A and B are shown apart, each in its own frame.
Chain A
Amino acid sequence: NAGVTQTPKFQVLKTGQSMTLQCAQDMNHNSMYWYRQDPGMGLRLIYYSASEGTTDKGEVPNGYNVSRLNKREFSLRLESAAPSQTSVYFCASSEALRGLMGAANEQFFGPGTRLTVL
Chain B
Amino acid sequence: RKEVEQDPGPFNVPEGATVAFNCTYSNSASQSFFWYRQDCRKEPKLLMSVYSSGNEDGRFTAQLNRASQYISLLIRDSKLSDSATYLCVVLRANAGKSTFGDGTTLTVKP
Specify the main secondary structure of chain A where it touches its partner. loop
The answer to whether B96 and A96 have CB atoms under 8 Å apart is yes
Q: How large is the interface on B (under 10, 10 to 19, 20 to 34, 35 or more residues)?
A: 20 to 34
Residues of A with C-beta under 8 A to B8: 40
Residues of B with C-beta under 8 A to A106: 34, 46, 49
Given contacts A42-B103, A43-B44, contact A103 B96 (CB under 8 A): no
Specify the main secondary structure of chain B where it touches its partner. strand
Residues of A with C-beta under 8 A to B103: 41-42
Judged by a CB distance under 8 angstroms, whether A31 is at the interface is yes
The answer to whether A107 and B102 have CB atoms under 8 Å apart is no
Q: Name B95's closest neighbour in chain A (CB-CB).
A: A98
The answer to whether B49 and A107 have CB atoms under 8 Å apart is no
A-B contact pairs, 9 of them (CB 8 A): A41-B102, A42-B102, A50-B96, A98-B94, A100-B93, A102-B32, A105-B98, A107-B46, A107-B89
- Residues of B in contact with A (beta carbons under 8 Å apart): 4, 6, 8, 31-32, 34, 42-46, 49, 87, 89, 91, 93-94, 96-103
